[in-house]
Amino acid sequence: MAVQKKSAAAKTTNSDMKKADAFLNLKLVDAEGNVHTLPKGLPLFSDSRVLRSLINAAKANPDKEFTLTGTVWFPSEDAQEDIPL
């Protein structure tokens, strides 16, 4: 019978994870003006001023749309260090 080693890091379960205060559902508008919904909502936590403001503005007006800008970052194929967050 094989001996199983316990992992040094504790496993995170769903009950251990912090519950999101809200989720940001993203849509992409292409060059022709067509709207495409991205498949997953981004969890938001009200522990920062900007996110708390976003959550409160959405609570006050649930149909409000926000304009965000973003970039796509591609990690190096041979990167051996942590991804900067």
Is 55 inside any structural domain?
yes
Residue 24, pLDDT score: 95
**Series of mean pLDDT values for 10-residue runs along the chain (85 residues):** 58 77 93 92 95 97 92 76 65
Give the residue numbers spanning the domain of 27.
22-60
Is 50 inside any structural domain?
yes
Query: What's the total number of domains in the chain?
Result: 1
Is 39 inside any structural domain?
yes
Supply the Cα-derived Rg of the chain in whole angstroms: 19
Q: Of 36, 54, 32, 35, which Cα lies nearest the Cα of 44?
A: 54
Would you say how long the chain is, in residues? 85
> pTM surpassing 0.85?
no
Is 80 inside any structural domain?
no
Is 76 inside any structural domain?
no
> How big is the CA angle at 69 (ends 66 and 73), to the nearest 5 degrees?
140
Is 28 inside any structural domain?
yes
Is 49 inside any structural domain?
yes
63-85 pLDDT, tens digit each: 999 999 999 888 777 656 666 66
